[in-house]
Structures are given as C-alpha cells and as structure tokens.
Amino acid sequence: MIRSRRLVRAAVGGVVALSCTVLTAPAQAAPEADEPAGTVRLVTEKRVTVDYPWAGASGFQYRPGTTAVTTVDYPDAAPPAHAGPDDLASGTDVLNTRDSQTVTQRHRSTGVTATVTIPSGQAYRAAAGWSVLTMDGTGALHVLRAGADGTTEDTPVTGLPAGARPVHYRTGGSVGRLAIVYVLEDKTSVGLVDLADGAFRTYVTGDEAAPQLAFNDRWLVADWKAIRVDAGPGTEPTALTRTDAQLEAVVGDRLLIGNPGFVLGGTEAALTARDLVTGATGTVLTSSFGGIGPTLDGGALATAGPSSLDWNIHRITPTGSGGLTTTEVARVPAAATGVQGLAVAGGELFLYGATPGASLRYSSFQLDATGRPDGPQTRRSPALSPSTCLPGDAACPQLEALGDGRVSHLWTADTGEESVLNVGLDTTTVLNEPTNGDSRGRIGGSTGRYVLYNGGSGKQRVVDFPRGATAGETALTRDRTAAAVWGQTLWAPGSTQGSVTGRNLKTGSTTTIATGAPCTPTDIQAVNTWLYWSCGSSAGVFDRAAGRRITVPADIGPARLADGFLLRENRTTHELLLTDFHTGTATTRTLVKLPATDQNTGGSNGRWAVDRFGGHIAYLNGTYGEVSIVPSGVPTSPLAQMEAQVYTPSVIGKAFPWAPVWQLNKPSTWTLTLTDASGRPVRTLTGASTGAAVRPAWDGTTDSGGATGGPYTWKLTAHPRDGQGPDLTLSGTMNPG
C-alpha cells in the first residue's frame, strides 16, 4: 500500500459536495517480460496559457507554457499567393526569423524567401509581414524591406512628433500597419505607422504608461478609446465603457475582450465581442482565457474549453455579414502529472494525482477485455486536498478500488484520527465514516459496499457504504486479525489451527474451511472461490470450488491475490512475479521488471495494482505520469453474484426510481426484464456494468412509456464482457407499496 502523504478535503462529515492522453505505444523506460496492452498518461486538468510566436493566413505557431513550439496548418486554408515584398497583403503568410542583423522572411505556402539586412547603426524593433521596423542611433525609425535585386530598401518613418520617445512596438491584425506607443511631455500616445510609405499618425493620447491596445486595418482601440483608421484628421476617438478584462484583438468591426481580472465563483471566464459600430456585445467563446491574440490576416486565435482534457485553440474570423465565426483548429495537449496512487477493478484503472492548484483527484480510464485503454481520462471524484499525516502513519493514503465503480481510502485529520472515505459514482460526493479516534490504520481486502479497516488501536472495522447511503456506517467491530472481505463474507482465522471462518455480514451465519495451513494465518485474502493464507514462511491457496489445497511461494514479501493467480514484487530485483495456480499447480514467471527508481513508495496500489475483478495488472513504468497495463493471461472465473441489494420500494417514479445493485465478480453487459403479475413483460432495460456492479434504474413506466402496477417479477441476464464462461441469470420479485 501507499506510504506517500496525501488526501482529502477538510470537511469529511456525511456527504461532502465539493484528462487525458492515451498512448498507443508502451513506454520504454523499463525492461518488460510481458508486452503491455496499453499505456496511459495521467494529466493535470489545469488549463495552460499558450502564446503565439507567429499567426498568419496559412497557420500558426503556439507554445504552451515553457514547452516547445508547435506549428499548425489551417485545414483547407487558401493563403495569398507569393507576390513579393512590394505586395504587403501577401505578407499575411510570411514568417520572420531574426539572426543578429539579418531577418529571413519565408512565405510559408510557397517556401519563397527574402532577406532583410539591418544596416549598421540600426537596431531591430519589430516585424510584420514583409516589413521590418528599426531605430537608428538618433532615435529615428525606419521601415526596411527586401528589394527585388537582393538589396534592402530603407523607408524613413515620418510624422512622429519631434521629441517623441517610442517605448512600445505592437503588431496586430494587419501587415500594413504597426502600432507605436510613445511618450512626449509626460503624455503617452498611440499611433500607427503605415508600412507602405512610413507615414505615422497619432490617434489616441492618454495617461496610461502602457495602454492596452488592439488594431486591424479598420480600427485602432487604445486606452479604451476607439477610432477608425481612415478617420479624417482631427477626429476624436470614441470612449468605450471600461471593464476589468483585456483588449485582445479587433476582428472586422468587433473588438474582442477577454481575460477578466475577476470571475464570480462558479462561473468561467469568457471571450466577448463589442461591435465598434453599434455598441452591441455578445459572447464569442465560453470558458476562454489565456492564449488570445490577433493574427496577421485580421483574425484572432483563442483558447477555450472546460478543462485541459478538452482545451482547444479556436480561429476567429469575420463573416460577410459583419459577424464572427469560430473554428476549432488545434487541441492543446495537457501536461503530465505524477501518479500518487493507482488501483484497478472491474476493467477500470483509477489514478490518483494532482489537479488544479493544490488539490488532488481520482481519474479513471476504461479498459477493454484485453486490457487496452478504451476512452479518455475521466474525472471520478471531487477535488481533494492533501491529508494531514502524522510521522510514521502508513495511511496517506491507503486506497482500494471496490469493483463497483467506487474507491475507498483513508483520510487523516490534523488530530491523527482517520476516516474511511468513499468516492467514485459521481464527481461531487464524498461519503465518510469516522473510526472513532483510531489512527495508523490500513485498508484491508474490501469489495463492493464493504470496506475493511484495520486500526492501529488493534480494532478491526467493517464499514458499510450501501446503495443510496449519504454516509458510511460501521457494520461490525472486532479485535484485529488477519481478515478479508469478498462480497458479503468476512473471512478470518477460525478457532483451530489452519482453519478460516467466513461470516456472512448480512445474516451472521458462518462457514469454516480447513485450509491445511500449519499455523494461524497472518494474512488472509479472498477472491471468488480462492482463499489465500500466509504464515510468513509458508503460504497456500484453498480452492473452495474444487476443495483442493495449492502451495504457493512465500519467499519474498507480501502478495496480492487475484482471480486464479498471485502477484508479488521482489523489491531487490524489482521484478513483478505472477504465480498462476488456476489449474491446481503453482507456476511462477516474471511479469515485468519495474523501474529501479521508485516514483511511489510501497507495493500494491503504490507502484502496481491488480484487478481482482478481471485480471489486468497496472504498474508505473518509470516515465513521469505514465502507467502501463498488461493482462495476466490467466482465465477468469465464471460470472457470479457476490452480493446484491434488491429491495421492494414503497413507490416507483421518475424522481425515485427503483435502483437495485447486483455486485458481480467481473464486468458484464446486462438485460433486466420486468413482468407483471400475469407474466406479461412490461419493461426491458439494458446496459453495461459499473465496474463489476449492475446498477439499473427503473422509473416504473412500461416500454411504451405508460404506467403499470405491481407486483413484478424481475429477471437479470448478465453476459461476461471478457467472453469467458456462461451468462449469469438471476430472478426475483418485488411489490411496491
């Protein structure tokens, strides 16, 4: 189990309302004995801010955070043909690269290049399209362009007021103009230089030292004042209503405003647009912030999406009717985050790791019958804050996937008291059961609704999280011994040497098995009809179905029982060893050699985990954030019911459906048929199990949508998702009211 210090939100009483990359090729960080069926990478849900080193007519470059630059071509783009530096409009597809006093210009669509040589005594300031802006030693500005004969043409900038001191140079949605912010007599002004002839014109004067600005070939907006570029001399700009958001770009006649400084709790930032002609406003993209900016062809790019699992770059362009259209043009890959705990159950891989801020979350990946990832990273819990853990406390966190779509783990308060928590069926709920002051405990062999807690006080608890519960409840408290829970049975040492007694947690009835162990077992585990015992120096498995005893290795550390096999880790050689005993004879092989350097301490559920409800094994492969999955190759047991919560409701309706739970031993697809008192079928429901649990919901209506009355006979037919073994059929009756 895990020894790292982690876990849950401060409030843990009752119900607490609080990605993904699938890799097709396995990581090569560690030698492998079995080829993985697939590899997944746990990613943070925090959305990264991107910047755009270049954005033109045929595509763009973007850089998320501090990572490398990625180039994206627009699908079906029709960029301008190469026409040379004398045609400024064709510069919307030109990429400028500077090396000291040389600027290389490449028309991306055709590959044609030109070179601008910056004269001695001049310094580079900015570039847009075919034009390069420089400043000489006297403070005068120049527009440079490549000449047809390979020389560099130099056009002095005129119109800048005498004594003006340029402080900022900005490109925008134009290759014909470039913005200059200058200071004169303690006033800051903004103007545009016409790159065709070098003529400069001041448009806005204000008091801000670094005014926000955005422009295209039609409009300049600076310091929240807007003016047409072609406005007559002396025209005063129009003041706009200020907000705490940023001026991002002008597209057509629309000013894009985004990245607000404050967003109300429970809401998301949005990119909005203001019509500079009519003043009308509207939302362009919801959940949009960070990487927003103009493109050289008069459009814009913006990031938007609900989380990093669906974080995309959108291209914004004007429509012929004066509006805007948005097109998703790239998906921003999410950053990897460390795996701080893992578990597999019922064909689902649960990974515990960091999410936005300091919080943590359970995420999951569905696995197909072969162990291959089948779908994206999915949230499986609320955001969880780290636990307060005492020195030497082994439960930070202890965790166990229960095979019904849920995970239980321990949370430690700052007093040291532990609580058993349960999450997984939705992304907002945490169920909790305190341990009455116990600490330094461990989660034992838990399944479905029942969680075994082994307290440091010497007490052992079975915590019950039944269907529809708003909190956990302690179903049984006893002195701590070796024990395991499978389905609704608690297995513990019997009264005689080597015996193990199973206690039905619902009825209290008991069954005793003579395992042949030469001692009172110090470890007991149960999966299906397999019962594992260990005395430290010797170990065995009792096959309850066949009534036979099987000797298994006990030479290295703790073991983890699964369906027909045992998994152990040799912490010296870093080998993960699989012992197959399903035929009655134990055979051991090396499944995988784990990385020599731990990413996570502990064994089971720390560096590796095994699906007791299907047989897949997951392990940290040595690459940050990555987990590989390998099938055991051992046949699974036939489909069977472990436990069921089938009840008779007082009433059935849309607001309170009948929602029984059948806990099976492996994933299935299922059909539930309800018939009335005369044997007439009234409703048929189908679905796939949640983990290995069948969780239907019936609102009391017939297949045609009408109403019906009880009593009812139900029939559940479950088909094993792995195709191994026959279907399982269960039936019963219920009579509402």
pLDDT tens digits along 505-557: 999 999 999 999 999 999 999 999 999 999 989 999 999 999 999 999 998 87
684 and 703 Cβ atoms separated by less than 8 Å: yes
pLDDT of residue 33: 64
Average pLDDT for 115-132: 97
Residue 395 has pLDDT above 90, yes or no: no
Is there a contact between 672 and 689 (Cβ–Cβ < 8 Å)? no
What local confidence, expressed as pLDDT, does residue 572 receive?
Answer: 86
Report phi then psi at 25, rounded to 5: -115, 140
pLDDT of residue 9 exceeding 60, the answer is no
Q: What is the pLDDT of residue 32?
A: 44
pLDDT at 10 over 60: no
| Dihedral sign, Cα of residue 333, residue 339, residue 340, residue 346 | positive
8 A C-beta contact, residue 635 and residue 581: no
pLDDT confidence of 396, banded at 50, 70, 90?
low
Q: Is the model's pLDDT at 438 over the cut of 80?
A: yes
Q: Tokens standing for 321? A: 């009717």
pLDDT at 600: 62
In which residue are the tokens 């990359």 written? 21
Contacts 24+ apart (CB under 8 A), 356-363: 356/44, 356/45, 356/46, 356/383, 357/46, 357/383, 358/385, 358/386, 359/383, 359/384, 359/385, 360/6, 360/7, 360/384, 360/385, 360/386, 361/45, 362/407, 362/423, 362/424, 363/19, 363/20, 363/42
pLDDT of residue 398: 82
Amino acid at 113: T
Contact by Cβ (8 Å): 374, 433: no
Distance CA 193, CA 46 (A): 40
- What tokens appear for 361 in the block? 């979350």
- Do residues 230 and 209 touch, judged by C-beta distance below 8 A? no
Record the tokens describing residue 630, joined without a space.
Answer: 């390998």
- Per DSSP (E only), the strands in 359-470 are 360-366, 378-379, 399-401, 407-412, 418-423, 431-434, 442-443, 450-454, 459-464
pLDDT for the residue 581: 98
Confidence of residue 229 (pLDDT cuts 50, 70, 90): very high
The size of the chain, in residues, is: 737
Of 322-326, 336-340, 479-483, 515-519, the range with the lowest mean pLDDT is 336-340
- Pick the residue with more confidence: 423 or 45? 423
Residue 25 pLDDT greater than 80, yes or no:
no
pLDDT(8) > 50: no
61 CB neighbour count, 10 Å cutoff: 16
pLDDT given for residue 708 in this prediction: 83
Averaged pLDDT score across all residues of the chain: 90
Cβ contacts of residue 415 below 8 Å, gap of 6+? none
- Superfamily name and number for 339-631: TolB, C-terminal domain (2.120.10.30)
Q: Strand, coil or helix: what is 58?
A: coil
- Say which range, 20-29, 344-353, 438-447, 476-485, has the weakest mean pLDDT: 20-29
| pLDDT exceeds 80 at position 16 | no
On the question of pLDDT at 27 being above 80, the answer is no
Contact 625, 357 (CB under 8 A): no
Cβ proximity of 181 and 210 under 8 Å:
yes
CATH 2.60.40.4070 domain range(s) in the chain:
641-734
Look at residue 408 in the predicted model and tell me its pLDDT. 93
Average pLDDT estimate for 440-446: 89
Provide the pLDDT for residue 601.
57
Query: Tell me, what amino acid is at 610?
Result: V
Rounded (10°) CA dihedral 69, 74, 75, 81: -130
Cα gap 235→228, rounded to integer Å:
9
Look at the domain 641-734 and name its fold: Immunoglobulin-like (2.60.40)
Map tokens 């047409």 to a residue. 228
Q: Coil, strand, or helix at residue 90?
A: helix
More confident: 58 or 709: 58
Burial (CB count <10 Å: 0-12, 13-18, 19+), residue 374: middle
Which of 114-128, 208-222, 259-273 is the least confident region? 259-273
Among the residue ranges 179-193, 392-406, 457-471, 702-716, the one predicted with the least confidence is: 392-406
Share of the chain above pLDDT 90, in %: 75
481-495, 547-561, 716-730: which has the minimum mean pLDDT?
547-561
| pLDDT at 555 (0 to 100) | 85
Contacts 24+ apart (CB under 8 A), 489-498: 489/526, 490/450, 490/452, 490/462, 491/524, 491/526, 491/531, 492/524, 493/520, 493/521, 493/524, 498/533
Residue 275 has pLDDT above 90, yes or no: yes
What is the rounded end-to-end Cα distance, in angstroms, of the chain?
46
User: Residue 17: its pLDDT value, please?
Assistant: 29
Q: Where in the chain is the domain with CATH 2.120.10.30?
A: 339-631
pLDDT band at residue 2 using 50, 70 and 90 as cut-offs:
very low
State how far the Cα of 685 lies from the Cα of 85, in Å rounded to an integer. Answer: 68
> What does the block give as tokens for 240?
């706009």
Confidence band of 392 (pLDDT split at 50, 70, 90): low
pTM tops 0.75: yes
Q: How far apart are CA 379 and CA 363, in angstroms?
A: 5
* Mean pLDDT across 407-424: 90
Distance CA 220, CA 213 (A): 7
